[in-house]
A and B are shown apart, each in its own frame.
Chain A
Amino acid sequence: MPFLSPFRPFIDRPLARAAAPSSGSRDPLDSPLWPIMAERYLGRRRAVFDDAVQVVLPPVTEDQTQVPVTVDARALGSADEVLVIADLNPFPLTLRLEPVAAKPFVAFRMKIEQGTPIRAAVRRGDVWHVGGRYLDAAGGGCSVPPVVEKKVDWKSLGETRARVWSEADDLRLRLRMTHPMDTGMLANIPLFLIEELSVADAAGAVLARLTLQEPVADNPTLTLLPDRPAAGEALTLKARNTNGTVFTARVPIPPNTASAAAPAAGQKGRL
Protein backbone atom coordinates (compact mmCIF):
# COMPACT_ATOMS: atom_id res chain seq x y z
CA MET A 1 0.00 0.00 0.00
CA PRO A 2 2.32 2.70 -1.24
CA PHE A 3 -0.11 5.52 -0.55
CA LEU A 4 0.20 4.92 3.17
CA SER A 5 3.93 5.51 3.13
CA PRO A 6 3.75 9.23 3.94
CA PHE A 7 2.06 8.26 7.24
CA ARG A 8 4.46 5.47 8.11
CA PRO A 9 6.80 7.55 10.25
CA PHE A 10 3.85 8.53 12.49
CA ILE A 11 2.48 5.02 12.76
CA ASP A 12 5.79 3.52 13.79
CA ARG A 13 6.81 6.24 16.20
CA PRO A 14 6.03 5.45 19.82
CA LEU A 15 4.15 8.09 21.77
CA ALA A 16 6.51 10.49 23.41
CA ARG A 17 4.35 10.64 26.55
CA ALA A 18 4.73 6.91 27.19
CA ALA A 19 8.47 7.28 27.36
CA ALA A 20 8.40 10.07 29.97
CA PRO A 21 11.24 9.49 32.41
CA SER A 22 10.33 8.51 35.94
CA SER A 23 13.42 10.19 37.26
CA GLY A 24 14.96 13.26 35.74
CA SER A 25 14.46 16.94 35.27
CA ARG A 26 11.51 16.86 32.84
CA ASP A 27 8.07 17.27 34.45
CA PRO A 28 6.28 13.91 33.96
CA LEU A 29 2.92 15.73 34.35
CA ASP A 30 3.78 18.24 31.59
CA SER A 31 2.31 21.13 33.53
CA PRO A 32 2.98 24.52 31.91
CA LEU A 33 3.12 26.13 35.34
CA TRP A 34 5.75 23.86 36.80
CA PRO A 35 8.79 26.03 35.93
CA ILE A 36 7.15 28.96 37.75
CA MET A 37 6.27 26.78 40.73
CA ALA A 38 9.83 25.49 40.92
CA GLU A 39 11.24 28.99 40.75
CA ARG A 40 8.85 30.35 43.34
CA TYR A 41 8.93 27.59 45.92
CA LEU A 42 12.11 25.59 45.41
CA GLY A 43 14.50 28.50 45.17
CA ARG A 44 17.71 27.96 43.26
CA ARG A 45 18.19 24.40 44.38
CA ARG A 46 18.28 21.52 41.95
CA ALA A 47 15.05 19.53 41.51
CA VAL A 48 14.76 15.98 40.22
CA PHE A 49 11.57 14.03 39.58
CA ASP A 50 11.81 10.95 41.71
CA ASP A 51 9.44 7.99 42.13
CA ALA A 52 10.60 7.65 45.72
CA VAL A 53 8.25 10.54 46.43
CA GLN A 54 4.71 9.23 46.23
CA VAL A 55 1.56 11.32 46.18
CA VAL A 56 -1.47 9.11 46.76
CA LEU A 57 -4.85 10.44 45.60
CA PRO A 58 -8.34 8.94 45.54
CA PRO A 59 -9.63 7.41 42.26
CA VAL A 60 -12.35 10.07 42.12
CA THR A 61 -12.92 13.48 43.69
CA GLU A 62 -16.01 13.12 45.86
CA ASP A 63 -15.83 16.48 47.62
CA GLN A 64 -13.63 19.25 46.29
CA THR A 65 -13.43 20.84 49.71
CA GLN A 66 -12.10 17.66 51.31
CA VAL A 67 -9.77 15.86 48.93
CA PRO A 68 -7.65 13.30 50.79
CA VAL A 69 -3.95 13.45 49.91
CA THR A 70 -1.10 11.33 51.25
CA VAL A 71 2.53 12.24 50.68
CA ASP A 72 4.89 9.36 51.32
CA ALA A 73 8.63 9.83 50.82
CA ARG A 74 9.72 7.18 53.30
CA ALA A 75 11.62 5.52 50.45
CA LEU A 76 14.09 8.43 50.64
CA GLY A 77 14.80 7.74 54.29
CA SER A 78 14.95 11.07 56.06
CA ALA A 79 14.26 14.55 54.72
CA ASP A 80 14.75 18.16 55.71
CA GLU A 81 11.57 19.63 54.30
CA VAL A 82 8.40 18.56 52.50
CA LEU A 83 6.29 20.95 50.42
CA VAL A 84 2.93 20.19 48.87
CA ILE A 85 2.17 22.25 45.77
CA ALA A 86 -0.97 22.26 43.59
CA ASP A 87 -0.01 24.08 40.36
CA LEU A 88 -3.49 25.26 39.42
CA ASN A 89 -4.87 26.24 42.81
CA PRO A 90 -5.19 29.99 43.57
CA PHE A 91 -2.77 29.32 46.42
CA PRO A 92 -0.45 26.65 45.02
CA LEU A 93 1.55 26.14 48.19
CA THR A 94 -0.61 23.94 50.40
CA LEU A 95 1.49 22.73 53.27
CA ARG A 96 5.06 22.67 54.52
CA LEU A 97 6.35 19.95 56.80
CA GLU A 98 9.65 19.97 58.57
CA PRO A 99 10.10 16.37 59.78
CA VAL A 100 12.70 17.20 62.42
CA ALA A 101 12.38 13.80 64.03
CA ALA A 102 9.69 12.20 61.91
CA LYS A 103 9.27 10.30 58.68
CA PRO A 104 8.81 12.32 55.50
CA PHE A 105 5.12 11.42 55.45
CA VAL A 106 1.91 13.38 55.82
CA ALA A 107 -1.72 12.64 55.08
CA PHE A 108 -4.24 15.49 55.06
CA ARG A 109 -7.29 16.90 53.19
CA MET A 110 -7.29 19.86 50.86
CA LYS A 111 -9.54 22.10 48.78
CA ILE A 112 -9.25 22.03 45.00
CA GLU A 113 -10.24 24.83 42.66
CA GLN A 114 -10.06 22.68 39.51
CA GLY A 115 -8.18 19.68 38.16
CA THR A 116 -4.52 20.19 38.99
CA PRO A 117 -1.22 18.44 39.41
CA ILE A 118 -0.58 17.81 43.10
CA ARG A 119 3.08 17.56 43.93
CA ALA A 120 5.28 16.85 46.84
CA ALA A 121 8.77 18.34 46.83
CA VAL A 122 11.01 16.71 49.39
CA ARG A 123 14.32 18.36 50.18
CA ARG A 124 17.34 16.41 51.27
CA GLY A 125 20.22 18.79 51.69
CA ASP A 126 20.47 20.85 48.53
CA VAL A 127 18.33 18.67 46.26
CA TRP A 128 14.57 18.61 45.89
CA HIS A 129 13.02 15.24 45.07
CA VAL A 130 9.69 15.84 43.37
CA GLY A 131 6.80 13.43 42.92
CA GLY A 132 3.20 14.04 42.00
CA ARG A 133 0.01 13.06 40.29
CA TYR A 134 -2.77 14.79 38.42
CA LEU A 135 -6.06 15.16 40.28
CA ASP A 136 -9.19 15.49 38.20
CA ALA A 137 -11.80 17.80 39.69
CA ALA A 138 -14.38 20.41 38.76
CA GLY A 139 -14.62 23.96 40.08
CA GLY A 140 -15.42 24.89 43.64
CA GLY A 141 -13.32 24.67 46.72
CA CYS A 142 -11.25 27.77 47.25
CA SER A 143 -13.18 30.66 45.74
CA VAL A 144 -16.60 29.31 44.84
CA PRO A 145 -19.06 29.56 47.72
CA PRO A 146 -19.91 26.18 49.18
CA VAL A 147 -23.22 24.66 48.15
CA VAL A 148 -24.66 24.27 51.56
CA GLU A 149 -23.89 27.20 53.82
CA LYS A 150 -20.76 26.20 55.67
CA LYS A 151 -21.41 25.63 59.33
CA VAL A 152 -18.63 26.70 61.64
CA ASP A 153 -18.73 25.13 65.04
CA TRP A 154 -17.65 28.23 66.98
CA LYS A 155 -18.39 26.74 70.36
CA SER A 156 -15.76 24.05 69.92
CA LEU A 157 -13.27 26.19 68.01
CA GLY A 158 -9.84 24.71 68.50
CA GLU A 159 -11.16 21.47 69.95
CA THR A 160 -8.50 18.88 69.23
CA ARG A 161 -9.04 15.16 68.86
CA ALA A 162 -6.00 12.97 68.44
CA ARG A 163 -4.59 9.56 69.05
CA VAL A 164 -1.14 7.99 68.89
CA TRP A 165 -0.47 4.44 67.76
CA SER A 166 2.77 2.57 68.35
CA GLU A 167 4.17 1.23 65.11
CA ALA A 168 7.18 -1.00 64.57
CA ASP A 169 9.85 1.69 64.78
CA ASP A 170 7.97 4.93 65.21
CA LEU A 171 4.67 6.46 66.17
CA ARG A 172 1.58 7.22 64.15
CA LEU A 173 -0.26 10.37 65.12
CA ARG A 174 -3.71 11.20 63.82
CA LEU A 175 -5.31 14.47 64.77
CA ARG A 176 -8.34 16.56 63.91
CA MET A 177 -8.82 20.16 64.94
CA THR A 178 -12.18 21.91 64.84
CA HIS A 179 -11.27 25.11 63.04
CA PRO A 180 -12.31 26.79 59.77
CA MET A 181 -9.65 27.29 57.11
CA ASP A 182 -11.09 30.46 55.54
CA THR A 183 -9.00 31.60 52.61
CA GLY A 184 -10.17 35.21 52.55
CA MET A 185 -11.40 34.70 48.97
CA LEU A 186 -15.11 34.58 49.80
CA ALA A 187 -16.90 37.90 50.23
CA ASN A 188 -17.17 39.04 53.85
CA ILE A 189 -15.23 36.09 55.24
CA PRO A 190 -11.72 37.22 56.19
CA LEU A 191 -8.67 34.99 56.26
CA PHE A 192 -8.91 32.78 59.30
CA LEU A 193 -6.98 29.57 59.56
CA ILE A 194 -4.61 27.43 61.57
CA GLU A 195 -1.23 28.60 60.39
CA GLU A 196 1.28 26.67 62.42
CA LEU A 197 1.22 23.31 64.07
CA SER A 198 4.00 21.53 65.88
CA VAL A 199 4.43 18.15 67.53
CA ALA A 200 6.87 17.97 70.41
CA ASP A 201 7.94 15.39 72.96
CA ALA A 202 7.36 15.72 76.69
CA ALA A 203 10.61 17.67 77.10
CA GLY A 204 9.56 20.19 74.47
CA ALA A 205 11.84 19.00 71.66
CA VAL A 206 10.05 19.47 68.33
CA LEU A 207 9.50 16.28 66.29
CA ALA A 208 7.59 17.81 63.40
CA ARG A 209 6.71 21.34 62.41
CA LEU A 210 3.96 22.17 59.94
CA THR A 211 2.88 25.33 58.17
CA LEU A 212 -0.65 25.03 56.85
CA GLN A 213 -1.75 27.24 53.97
CA GLU A 214 -5.14 28.32 52.59
CA PRO A 215 -5.85 25.14 50.57
CA VAL A 216 -5.83 22.86 53.62
CA ALA A 217 -9.41 21.76 54.23
CA ASP A 218 -11.60 22.97 57.09
CA ASN A 219 -11.13 21.14 60.37
CA PRO A 220 -7.55 20.09 59.56
CA THR A 221 -7.23 16.32 59.81
CA LEU A 222 -3.68 15.02 59.63
CA THR A 223 -1.63 11.87 59.92
CA LEU A 224 2.06 12.13 60.82
CA LEU A 225 4.74 9.57 61.67
CA PRO A 226 6.94 11.04 64.41
CA ASP A 227 9.88 9.11 65.85
CA ARG A 228 9.36 7.58 69.27
CA PRO A 229 10.77 10.10 71.73
CA ALA A 230 13.38 8.78 74.16
CA ALA A 231 11.47 9.99 77.18
CA GLY A 232 7.95 10.89 78.15
CA GLU A 233 4.56 9.30 77.84
CA ALA A 234 2.91 11.94 75.72
CA LEU A 235 3.27 14.19 72.69
CA THR A 236 2.42 17.85 72.88
CA LEU A 237 0.52 19.50 70.04
CA LYS A 238 0.72 23.23 69.65
CA ALA A 239 -1.23 25.13 67.00
CA ARG A 240 -1.50 28.82 66.28
CA ASN A 241 -4.19 30.47 64.15
CA THR A 242 -4.04 33.70 62.14
CA ASN A 243 -5.59 35.59 65.06
CA GLY A 244 -2.67 34.58 67.23
CA THR A 245 -4.64 32.21 69.40
CA VAL A 246 -2.56 29.26 70.54
CA PHE A 247 -4.12 25.85 71.11
CA THR A 248 -2.23 23.15 72.94
CA ALA A 249 -3.07 19.55 73.68
CA ARG A 250 -1.40 16.50 75.16
CA VAL A 251 -1.67 13.13 73.42
CA PRO A 252 -0.73 10.08 75.43
CA ILE A 253 1.68 7.59 73.81
CA PRO A 254 0.60 3.97 74.20
CA PRO A 255 3.25 1.58 75.54
CA ASN A 256 5.37 -0.10 72.86
CA THR A 257 4.03 -3.63 72.99
CA ALA A 258 3.96 -4.37 69.29
CA SER A 259 0.37 -3.25 69.58
CA ALA A 260 0.24 -2.43 65.90
CA ALA A 261 1.13 -5.92 64.70
CA ALA A 262 -1.14 -8.05 66.86
CA PRO A 263 -4.53 -6.43 66.19
CA ALA A 264 -3.69 -6.12 62.49
CA ALA A 265 -3.40 -9.89 62.31
CA GLY A 266 -6.59 -10.31 64.33
CA GLN A 267 -8.59 -8.03 62.06
CA LYS A 268 -8.53 -10.58 59.23
CA GLY A 269 -10.54 -13.06 61.22
CA ARG A 270 -13.22 -10.58 62.08
CA LEU A 271 -14.60 -10.32 58.59
Chain B
Amino acid sequence: MRETTLTRRAGLALGLCATALPWLPAEAAPLAYPLAPVEIAPRVWTIYGAPEPITRANGGAIANITVLDTSDGAVLIDAGPSHRYGTALKALAERLTGKPVVRVYLTHIHADHVLGATAFAPGTVSGGPALRGDLKRAGTDLTNGMYRVAGDWMRGTGVPEPGRVAEAGVEIIGERRFRILPLAGHTREDLCLFEESSGLLFPGDLVFLDRAATTPDADPERWRGALASLAEIDHRLLIPGHGPVEAGRRGIDQTRRWLDTVEARIGDGFSHGLDVTELMETPLPDWTAGLAVARYEFARSVMHLLPALERRDLPRLTPA
Protein backbone atom coordinates (compact mmCIF):
# COMPACT_ATOMS: atom_id res chain seq x y z
CA MET B 1 0.00 0.00 0.00
CA ARG B 2 2.79 2.32 0.98
CA GLU B 3 4.68 1.49 -2.16
CA THR B 4 1.67 2.30 -4.28
CA THR B 5 1.48 5.81 -2.79
CA LEU B 6 5.10 6.49 -3.68
CA THR B 7 4.58 5.29 -7.21
CA ARG B 8 1.57 7.54 -7.63
CA ARG B 9 3.57 10.47 -6.31
CA ALA B 10 6.36 9.70 -8.70
CA GLY B 11 3.81 9.45 -11.49
CA LEU B 12 2.38 12.81 -10.50
CA ALA B 13 5.86 14.32 -10.51
CA LEU B 14 6.53 12.92 -13.96
CA GLY B 15 3.21 14.22 -15.22
CA LEU B 16 3.95 17.70 -13.89
CA CYS B 17 7.36 17.62 -15.52
CA ALA B 18 5.83 16.59 -18.80
CA THR B 19 3.33 19.45 -18.74
CA ALA B 20 6.18 21.86 -18.02
CA LEU B 21 8.20 20.66 -21.02
CA PRO B 22 6.58 22.76 -23.75
CA TRP B 23 7.54 25.91 -21.87
CA LEU B 24 11.09 24.89 -20.99
CA PRO B 25 12.95 25.11 -24.32
CA ALA B 26 12.55 28.87 -24.71
CA GLU B 27 15.47 28.95 -27.16
CA ALA B 28 13.49 26.95 -29.66
CA ALA B 29 10.91 29.74 -30.06
CA PRO B 30 11.40 31.70 -33.29
CA LEU B 31 13.55 34.75 -32.66
CA ALA B 32 11.85 38.11 -33.10
CA TYR B 33 13.32 41.58 -32.74
CA PRO B 34 11.20 43.68 -30.38
CA LEU B 35 11.19 46.81 -32.56
CA ALA B 36 9.98 49.74 -30.46
CA PRO B 37 9.67 52.89 -32.60
CA VAL B 38 9.91 56.24 -30.83
CA GLU B 39 8.38 59.24 -32.64
CA ILE B 40 11.23 61.76 -32.52
CA ALA B 41 9.59 64.33 -34.83
CA PRO B 42 6.20 64.46 -36.61
CA ARG B 43 5.91 61.29 -38.73
CA VAL B 44 9.50 60.26 -38.00
CA TRP B 45 10.30 57.26 -35.82
CA THR B 46 13.63 55.99 -34.50
CA ILE B 47 14.18 52.43 -33.37
CA TYR B 48 16.96 52.64 -30.82
CA GLY B 49 19.79 50.14 -30.89
CA ALA B 50 21.02 48.57 -27.66
CA PRO B 51 24.11 50.29 -26.21
CA GLU B 52 26.02 47.00 -26.32
CA PRO B 53 28.43 45.03 -28.48
CA ILE B 54 26.84 42.67 -31.02
CA THR B 55 25.83 39.55 -29.10
CA ARG B 56 23.71 36.44 -29.42
CA ALA B 57 21.27 38.07 -26.99
CA ASN B 58 20.63 41.26 -28.97
CA GLY B 59 20.90 39.75 -32.43
CA GLY B 60 23.05 42.66 -33.57
CA ALA B 61 20.28 45.25 -33.10
CA ILE B 62 22.66 47.87 -31.74
CA ALA B 63 22.37 50.69 -34.29
CA ASN B 64 19.67 53.34 -34.52
CA ILE B 65 17.31 52.88 -37.45
CA THR B 66 14.91 55.63 -38.54
CA VAL B 67 11.64 55.56 -40.49
CA LEU B 68 10.42 58.77 -42.17
CA ASP B 69 6.95 59.10 -43.61
CA THR B 70 6.64 60.97 -46.92
CA SER B 71 3.72 61.45 -49.28
CA ASP B 72 5.49 59.06 -51.70
CA GLY B 73 6.15 56.31 -49.17
CA ALA B 74 8.38 55.37 -46.28
CA VAL B 75 12.08 56.29 -46.27
CA LEU B 76 14.48 54.41 -44.03
CA ILE B 77 17.88 55.39 -42.72
CA ASP B 78 19.79 52.10 -42.44
CA ALA B 79 18.33 48.61 -42.46
CA GLY B 80 19.58 46.79 -39.37
CA PRO B 81 21.83 43.76 -38.84
CA SER B 82 20.02 40.84 -40.48
CA HIS B 83 17.43 39.74 -42.99
CA ARG B 84 15.14 38.92 -40.09
CA TYR B 85 15.51 42.48 -38.77
CA GLY B 86 14.96 43.94 -42.25
CA THR B 87 11.77 41.92 -42.69
CA ALA B 88 10.38 43.11 -39.35
CA LEU B 89 11.49 46.67 -40.12
CA LYS B 90 9.74 46.65 -43.47
CA ALA B 91 6.48 45.50 -41.88
CA LEU B 92 6.84 48.10 -39.15
CA ALA B 93 7.52 50.92 -41.61
CA GLU B 94 4.49 49.94 -43.69
CA ARG B 95 2.32 49.82 -40.59
CA LEU B 96 3.56 53.19 -39.26
CA THR B 97 3.22 55.04 -42.57
CA GLY B 98 0.50 53.02 -44.28
CA LYS B 99 2.69 53.12 -47.42
CA PRO B 100 5.33 50.97 -49.05
CA VAL B 101 9.02 51.56 -48.45
CA VAL B 102 10.36 53.61 -51.37
CA ARG B 103 13.94 54.25 -50.24
CA VAL B 104 16.46 52.72 -47.86
CA TYR B 105 19.61 54.77 -47.38
CA LEU B 106 22.59 52.83 -46.11
CA THR B 107 25.02 55.10 -44.27
CA HIS B 108 28.08 52.81 -44.33
CA ILE B 109 29.20 49.23 -44.75
CA HIS B 110 29.10 47.99 -41.15
CA ALA B 111 26.98 44.90 -40.55
CA ASP B 112 24.68 46.38 -37.90
CA HIS B 113 23.51 48.98 -40.46
CA VAL B 114 23.38 47.22 -43.83
CA LEU B 115 22.60 43.50 -43.65
CA GLY B 116 18.86 44.04 -43.17
CA ALA B 117 18.75 45.58 -46.66
CA THR B 118 18.19 42.19 -48.31
CA ALA B 119 14.58 42.41 -47.12
CA PHE B 120 13.95 45.34 -49.50
CA ALA B 121 13.77 45.54 -53.31
CA PRO B 122 17.32 46.32 -54.54
CA GLY B 123 15.96 49.23 -56.60
CA THR B 124 14.91 51.01 -53.40
CA VAL B 125 18.26 50.52 -51.62
CA SER B 126 20.74 53.35 -51.94
CA GLY B 127 24.30 53.79 -50.75
CA GLY B 128 27.43 55.77 -51.47
CA PRO B 129 29.29 55.21 -54.77
CA ALA B 130 31.75 52.71 -53.24
CA LEU B 131 29.26 50.75 -51.11
CA ARG B 132 28.08 48.29 -53.76
CA GLY B 133 31.64 47.33 -54.71
CA ASP B 134 32.77 47.14 -51.10
CA LEU B 135 29.86 44.84 -50.26
CA LYS B 136 30.70 42.61 -53.21
CA ARG B 137 34.29 42.36 -51.98
CA ALA B 138 33.88 42.11 -48.22
CA GLY B 139 30.18 41.27 -47.79
CA THR B 140 30.66 37.52 -47.31
CA ASP B 141 33.14 38.09 -44.51
CA LEU B 142 30.72 40.55 -42.98
CA THR B 143 27.92 37.99 -42.95
CA ASN B 144 30.24 35.17 -41.83
CA GLY B 145 31.35 37.20 -38.84
CA MET B 146 27.76 38.04 -37.97
CA TYR B 147 26.56 34.43 -38.25
CA ARG B 148 29.28 33.45 -35.84
CA VAL B 149 28.56 36.17 -33.29
CA ALA B 150 24.77 36.45 -33.50
CA GLY B 151 23.91 32.88 -34.53
CA ASP B 152 20.36 32.04 -35.55
CA TRP B 153 19.27 35.68 -35.68
CA MET B 154 21.15 35.82 -38.97
CA ARG B 155 19.25 33.01 -40.70
CA GLY B 156 18.55 33.89 -44.34
CA THR B 157 20.87 36.89 -44.35
CA GLY B 158 22.89 37.44 -47.52
CA VAL B 159 24.92 40.25 -48.98
CA PRO B 160 22.84 43.28 -50.04
CA GLU B 161 23.26 44.67 -53.54
CA PRO B 162 22.16 48.31 -53.42
CA GLY B 163 20.52 49.21 -56.73
CA ARG B 164 20.96 52.97 -56.39
CA VAL B 165 23.87 55.31 -55.83
CA ALA B 166 23.47 58.31 -53.55
CA GLU B 167 25.58 61.15 -54.98
CA ALA B 168 26.24 64.49 -53.31
CA GLY B 169 23.24 66.79 -53.76
CA VAL B 170 19.57 66.81 -52.86
CA GLU B 171 17.15 63.92 -53.42
CA ILE B 172 13.49 64.84 -53.17
CA ILE B 173 11.05 62.20 -51.96
CA GLY B 174 7.50 63.45 -51.50
CA GLU B 175 7.60 66.61 -49.43
CA ARG B 176 11.00 65.77 -47.94
CA ARG B 177 14.38 66.99 -49.21
CA PHE B 178 17.35 64.77 -48.36
CA ARG B 179 20.66 66.60 -48.72
CA ILE B 180 23.33 63.96 -49.24
CA LEU B 181 26.77 64.67 -47.84
CA PRO B 182 29.48 62.16 -48.73
CA LEU B 183 31.90 62.14 -45.79
CA ALA B 184 34.44 59.65 -44.44
CA GLY B 185 36.44 58.81 -41.36
CA HIS B 186 34.45 56.19 -39.46
CA THR B 187 34.82 54.11 -42.61
CA ARG B 188 36.19 55.05 -46.00
CA GLU B 189 32.73 56.16 -47.05
CA ASP B 190 30.18 57.56 -44.63
CA LEU B 191 26.96 58.83 -46.10
CA CYS B 192 25.48 61.66 -44.06
CA LEU B 193 21.90 62.81 -44.71
CA PHE B 194 20.28 66.09 -43.74
CA GLU B 195 16.52 66.22 -44.19
CA GLU B 196 16.04 69.92 -44.88
CA SER B 197 12.27 70.19 -44.36
CA SER B 198 12.45 68.86 -40.79
CA GLY B 199 16.02 69.80 -39.89
CA LEU B 200 16.90 66.22 -38.98
CA LEU B 201 20.58 65.34 -39.29
CA PHE B 202 21.62 61.71 -39.86
CA PRO B 203 25.40 61.48 -39.56
CA GLY B 204 25.45 57.67 -39.41
CA ASP B 205 28.28 56.36 -37.28
CA LEU B 206 30.30 59.54 -37.60
CA VAL B 207 28.49 60.46 -34.38
CA PHE B 208 28.10 58.22 -31.32
CA LEU B 209 26.46 59.50 -28.16
CA ASP B 210 26.90 58.05 -24.66
CA ARG B 211 28.41 54.98 -26.30
CA ALA B 212 32.08 54.62 -27.23
CA ALA B 213 32.76 54.97 -30.96
CA THR B 214 34.10 52.00 -32.93
CA THR B 215 37.24 52.22 -35.05
CA PRO B 216 37.75 49.01 -37.09
CA ASP B 217 37.92 50.95 -40.37
CA ALA B 218 38.54 54.42 -38.98
CA ASP B 219 40.80 57.16 -40.20
CA PRO B 220 40.79 59.46 -37.15
CA GLU B 221 42.12 62.47 -39.04
CA ARG B 222 39.41 62.33 -41.72
CA TRP B 223 36.86 61.57 -38.99
CA ARG B 224 37.73 64.81 -37.19
CA GLY B 225 37.35 66.65 -40.49
CA ALA B 226 33.92 65.10 -41.01
CA LEU B 227 32.87 66.09 -37.48
CA ALA B 228 33.91 69.67 -38.24
CA SER B 229 31.71 69.63 -41.36
CA LEU B 230 28.78 68.22 -39.39
CA ALA B 231 29.14 70.91 -36.72
CA GLU B 232 28.46 73.56 -39.37
CA ILE B 233 25.03 72.17 -40.22
CA ASP B 234 22.27 74.02 -38.40
CA HIS B 235 20.09 71.07 -37.41
CA ARG B 236 16.96 70.75 -35.32
CA LEU B 237 17.69 67.19 -34.11
CA LEU B 238 20.68 64.95 -34.53
CA ILE B 239 20.12 61.20 -34.86
CA PRO B 240 23.45 59.52 -34.02
CA GLY B 241 24.29 56.07 -35.37
CA HIS B 242 24.29 54.86 -31.77
CA GLY B 243 22.85 56.63 -28.73
CA PRO B 244 20.03 59.03 -27.88
CA VAL B 245 18.53 61.51 -30.34
CA GLU B 246 18.97 65.10 -29.22
CA ALA B 247 19.38 68.64 -30.45
CA GLY B 248 22.75 70.32 -30.26
CA ARG B 249 26.28 69.17 -30.77
CA ARG B 250 26.91 67.05 -27.68
CA GLY B 251 27.30 63.91 -29.80
CA ILE B 252 29.69 65.62 -32.22
CA ASP B 253 31.84 66.96 -29.38
CA GLN B 254 31.77 63.71 -27.42
CA THR B 255 32.76 61.61 -30.44
CA ARG B 256 35.63 63.97 -31.14
CA ARG B 257 36.74 63.86 -27.50
CA TRP B 258 36.65 60.05 -27.48
CA LEU B 259 38.74 59.91 -30.66
CA ASP B 260 41.25 62.36 -29.21
CA THR B 261 41.40 60.40 -25.95
CA VAL B 262 41.84 57.03 -27.62
CA GLU B 263 44.52 58.31 -29.97
CA ALA B 264 46.42 60.06 -27.19
CA ARG B 265 46.27 57.02 -24.90
CA ILE B 266 47.47 54.70 -27.63
CA GLY B 267 50.20 57.15 -28.64
CA ASP B 268 51.36 57.39 -25.03
CA GLY B 269 51.33 53.65 -24.53
CA PHE B 270 53.30 53.20 -27.73
CA SER B 271 55.90 55.73 -26.69
CA HIS B 272 56.33 53.83 -23.41
CA GLY B 273 56.85 50.54 -25.17
CA LEU B 274 53.55 48.85 -24.32
CA ASP B 275 52.32 45.96 -26.43
CA VAL B 276 48.64 45.52 -27.37
CA THR B 277 47.32 43.59 -24.37
CA GLU B 278 49.25 45.78 -21.93
CA LEU B 279 47.90 48.97 -23.47
CA MET B 280 44.35 47.63 -23.35
CA GLU B 281 44.56 47.46 -19.57
CA THR B 282 45.69 51.04 -19.00
CA PRO B 283 43.14 53.28 -17.25
CA LEU B 284 40.75 55.54 -19.14
CA PRO B 285 39.95 59.09 -17.99
CA ASP B 286 37.00 59.50 -15.62
CA TRP B 287 34.78 61.28 -18.12
CA THR B 288 34.51 58.10 -20.19
CA ALA B 289 32.67 56.37 -17.32
CA GLY B 290 29.44 57.76 -18.81
CA LEU B 291 30.02 56.01 -22.13
CA ALA B 292 28.64 52.51 -22.68
CA VAL B 293 31.22 49.83 -23.57
CA ALA B 294 34.14 52.27 -23.26
CA ARG B 295 36.63 49.63 -22.07
CA TYR B 296 35.61 47.15 -24.72
CA GLU B 297 35.84 49.64 -27.56
CA PHE B 298 39.14 51.00 -26.25
CA ALA B 299 40.57 47.46 -26.34
CA ARG B 300 39.36 47.07 -29.92
CA SER B 301 40.79 50.46 -30.89
CA VAL B 302 44.20 49.43 -29.53
CA MET B 303 44.11 46.45 -31.89
CA HIS B 304 43.11 48.72 -34.78
CA LEU B 305 45.44 51.65 -34.23
CA LEU B 306 48.61 50.47 -32.45
CA PRO B 307 49.97 48.32 -35.33
CA ALA B 308 50.01 51.34 -37.63
CA LEU B 309 52.20 53.22 -35.14
CA GLU B 310 54.56 50.25 -34.86
CA ARG B 311 54.83 50.06 -38.65
CA ARG B 312 55.53 53.76 -38.98
CA ASP B 313 57.14 55.04 -35.80
CA LEU B 314 59.36 52.32 -34.36
CA PRO B 315 62.89 53.44 -35.33
CA ARG B 316 64.18 51.76 -38.45
CA LEU B 317 67.47 50.03 -37.83
CA THR B 318 70.52 49.68 -39.97
CA PRO B 319 72.09 46.23 -40.28
CA ALA B 320 74.63 45.57 -37.52
Contacts and interface: CB of A to CB of B under 8 A. Distances in A.
B110 to A, nearest CB: 14
B28 interface: no
Most chain B beta carbons < 10 A, residue from A68, A163, A236, A247: A68
Contacts of A39: none
B264 A62 contact: no
A267 B303 CA distance: 21
Q: Which 9 A-B pairs give the minimum distances between C-beta atoms?
A: A3-B13, A68-B276, A161-B314, A107-B275, A249-B317, A250-B320, A165-B273, A248-B320, A223-B275
Interface string A201-227: 000000000000000000101010000
Nearest to B274: A223
Nearest to B6: A2
Chain B interface main SS type: helix
Interface in B123-139: 137-138
Q: Which of B138, B271, B275, B307 has the most A CB atoms < 10 Å from its CB?
A: B275
B150 to A, nearest CB: 12
Interface of B: 9-10, 12-13, 16, 53, 137-138, 141, 144-145, 148, 216, 261, 264-265, 268, 271-273, 275-278, 280-281, 285, 296, 299-300, 303-304, 307, 310-311, 314-320
A92 B268 CA distance: 34
Given A174-B273, A271-B268, 9 more contacts: A62-B303, A68-B303, A70-B278, A147-B141, A161-B314, A174-B314, A176-B310, A251-B317, A271-B265
Nearest to A236: B320
A159 B311 CA distance: 11
Given A3-B12, A58-B299, A271 B275 contact: no
Nearest to B315: A163
A59 interface: yes
Contact of B317 (A63, A70, A250): A250
Given A107-B275, A174-B273, A163 B9 contact: no
A70 to B, nearest CB: 4
Contact of A249 (B13, B307, B319): B319
Nearest to A137: B148
B320 A60 contact: no
Nearest to A173: B273
28 contacts: A2-B9, A4-B13, A6-B13, A58-B280, A60-B53, A62-B216, A66-B307, A107-B275, A109-B276, A138-B144, A138-B148, A147-B141, A148-B137, A161-B311, A161-B315, A162-B315, A163-B315, A165-B272, A223-B275, A223-B278, A247-B319, A248-B320, A249-B320, A250-B317, A250-B319, A250-B320, A263-B272, A270-B264
B272 A260 contact: yes
A264 interface: yes
A234 to B, nearest CB: 8
A147 B273 CA distance: 31
A76 interface: no
A176 B277 contact: no
Contacts of B311: 161, 176, 219
A35 B281 CA distance: 33
A56 interface: yes
A88 interface: no
A116 interface: no
B148 A62 contact: no
A190 to B, nearest CB: 25
Contacts of A138: 144-145, 148
A147 B134 CA distance: 12
Contact of A3 (B16, B268, B280, B310): B16
Contacts of B320: 236-238, 248-250
Nearest to B300: A62
A253 interface: no
A138 B149 CA distance: 9
Given A6-B13, A59-B296, A162 B275 contact: no
Interface in A157-192: 159-163, 165, 172, 174-176
Contact of A161 (B138, B275, B303, B316): B316
A29 interface: no
Contacts of B261: 271
A267 B276 contact: no
A109 to B, nearest CB: 8
B318 A62 contact: no
A69 interface: yes
Contacts of A175: 314
A264 B319 CA distance: 31
Contacts of B137: 148
A250 B273 CA distance: 18
A250 B299 CA distance: 32
Contacts of B53: 60
